[in-house]
């Protein structure tokens, strides 16, 4: 009986320890798989004040305004779905969060640029999941 309990204990400990090595591809933040079927909240249009002190903050929001349905279908890897209840990258740009977060701004700029190249929302999402947005240089962001 002691051997069985010891084996079960070792198994439980092994499973708990291996949880930290979960597959990141399976841990995708919240997003919508399809374009919205009803009206969604607008992207913030008031781009003045302390949250918009840098031109790239304004540019990121202007890019977001041009592709709201694409942003609606993208995850946000700053993990704001966990801490702020965001449902997709679109949520970040409904308020001020997108102006505070370089991940959000890079993902929005990436989404805009890839959409302009003719990529579908699903193709943009695949690139975001691969981390391709990380190469966006916010300091040199332009429409």
What's the confidence (pLDDT) of residue 107?
96
Cβ distance 73 to 122 under 8 Å? yes
pLDDT surpasses 70 at 25: no
Cβ distance 67 to 107 under 8 Å? no
CA–CA separation, 118 and 107 (whole Å): 16
Neighbours of 86 (CB within 10 A): 23
Q: Which of 78, 63, 77, 67 is nearest to 119 (CA)?
A: 67
Average pLDDT of span 34-57:
96
What's the confidence (pLDDT) of residue 133?
96
Cβ distance 143 to 62 under 8 Å? yes
pLDDT surpasses 90 at 17: no
- Ramachandran category for residue 61: left, alpha or beta (phi over 0 → left; psi -120 to 50 → alpha): alpha
| Terminal Cα-to-Cα distance of the chain (whole angstroms) | 69
The rounded mean pLDDT for the chain is: 86
Q: What is the pLDDT of residues 31-45, one digit of tens each?
A: 989 999 999 999 999
CA–CA separation, 49 and 67 (whole Å): 23
Q: Between 130 and 22, whose confidence is greater?
A: 130
Q: Which of 64, 66, 113 is nearest to 89 (CA)?
A: 64
Q: What is the pLDDT of residues 72-112, one digit of tens each?
A: 999 999 888 788 878 999 999 999 999 999 999 999 999 99
**Which two tokens mark 111?**
């989404």
Q: Where are the domains of the chain?
A: 28-140
What's the confidence (pLDDT) of residue 7?
45
Q: Which of 61, 133, 68, 66 is nearest to 96 (CA)?
A: 61
Prediction pTM value: 0.80
């Amino acid at each position: 009986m002691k051997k069985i309990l010891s084996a079960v204990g070792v198994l439980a400990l092994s499973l708990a320890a291996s949880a930290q090595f979960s597959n990141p591809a399976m841990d995708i933040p919240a997003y919508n798989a399809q374009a919205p079927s009803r009206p969604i909240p607008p992207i913030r249009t008031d781009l003045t004040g302390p949250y918009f002190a840098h031109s790239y903050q304004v540019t990121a929001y202007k890019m977001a305004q041009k592709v709201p349905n694409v942003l609606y279908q993208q995850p946000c890897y700053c993990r704001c779905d966990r801490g702020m209840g965001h449902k997709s990258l679109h949520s970040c740009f409904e308020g001020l969060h997108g102006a505070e977060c370089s991940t959000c701004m890079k993902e929005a700029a990436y989404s805009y640029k890839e959409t302009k190249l003719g990529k579908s929302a699903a193709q943009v999402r695949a690139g975001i999941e691969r981390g391709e947005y990380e190469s966006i240089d916010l300091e040199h962001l332009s429409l």
